[in-house]
Amino acid sequence: MKYPALFIAVLLIASCGGAPDYSPKPRGYFRIIYPEKKYQAYTEGCPFTFDYPQYGTIEPDRSRGAKPCWQNIQFPQFNATLHLSYQPVTSPKEFNELVEDAHKLSFKHTVKATSIDEAAIAYPERNVYGIYYTIDGNAASSAQFFLTDSTKHYLRGALYFNSEPRLDSIQPVLNFLKKDVDVMIKTFKWKK
């Protein structure tokens, strides 16, 4: 009886062999297929117009507290949303508060951001002015801006991805969508 148990124990130990050399594989990401850049005009009932990509869909903001002309441009294939919120300006005090809010909301990402850059937007021939905030790092929003005519109109935009912010994985799509945001800003006009 001793020998069969010893034989089985030796057989089990011998059959296990050495542990295979395991090294973790790097994380893989999905292949991204970028659509062709074609633009269409947004001319709905709001006091502004702009061009946006055909692969984006505009939907009214359905969040609680949303106001008229608050829109979301959805990019479902990239799991991203460009939130647009329009506010009519009724006084210089209100205008200053809106500009300060845009600054605060952009710099709220300082906790995760590695840097936040501001760039002035100025198209005097169309009476469009503003600031574009580029937020680097693993922040929830990587691009924010506001546009105004400084007297009657104010529009704020913020690009968000509907996933955990990891700059290394969203960077190619972010660069692709930032070009669309640039086109939107360059073609933006206030209706009279």
The CATH number given to whatever domain includes residue 172 is: 3.40.1000
Whether residue 134 is contained in a domain is answered as yes
CB 126 within 8 A of CB 48: no
CA–CA gap between residue 148 and residue 163 (Å, rounded)? 30
User: What pLDDT sits at residue 93?
Assistant: 93
61 HSE (CA, 13 A, CB side) = 17
The pLDDT tens digits for 15-66 are 666 666 667 777 666 678 899 999 999 998 899 999 999 999 999 999 888 8
Whether residue 13 is contained in a domain is answered as no
User: What pLDDT sits at residue 188?
Assistant: 97
Whether residue 4 is contained in a domain is answered as no
pLDDT of residue 80 exceeding 60, the answer is: yes
Whether residue 102 is contained in a domain is answered as yes
Whether residue 42 is contained in a domain is answered as no
The pLDDT tens digits for 92-151 are 999 999 999 888 888 877 677 788 889 999 999 999 999 999 888 888 788 999 999 989
For tokens 């006091």, the residue is 47
Number of residues in the chain: 192
Whether residue 83 is contained in a domain is answered as yes
The pLDDT tens digits for 157-175 are 999 988 877 777 788 888 9
pLDDT of residue 155 exceeding 80, the answer is: yes
Which of 59-63, 72-76, 101-105, 188-192 is predicted with the least confidence, judged by mean pLDDT? Answer: 101-105
User: What pLDDT sits at residue 146?
Assistant: 95
Rounded mean pLDDT, 74-92: 93
Whether residue 128 is contained in a domain is answered as yes
- Token pair, residue 111, equals 């906790």
113 exposure class (CB count in 10 Å sphere: 0-12, 13-18, 19+): buried
User: What pLDDT sits at residue 20?
Assistant: 65
User: What pLDDT sits at residue 28?
Assistant: 67
CA–CA gap between residue 161 and residue 180 (Å, rounded)? 15
Whether residue 2 is contained in a domain is answered as no
Domain that holds residue 51: 47-190
DSSP conformational letter for 140: S
Task: Give how many domains the chain has, as a whole number.
Answer: 1
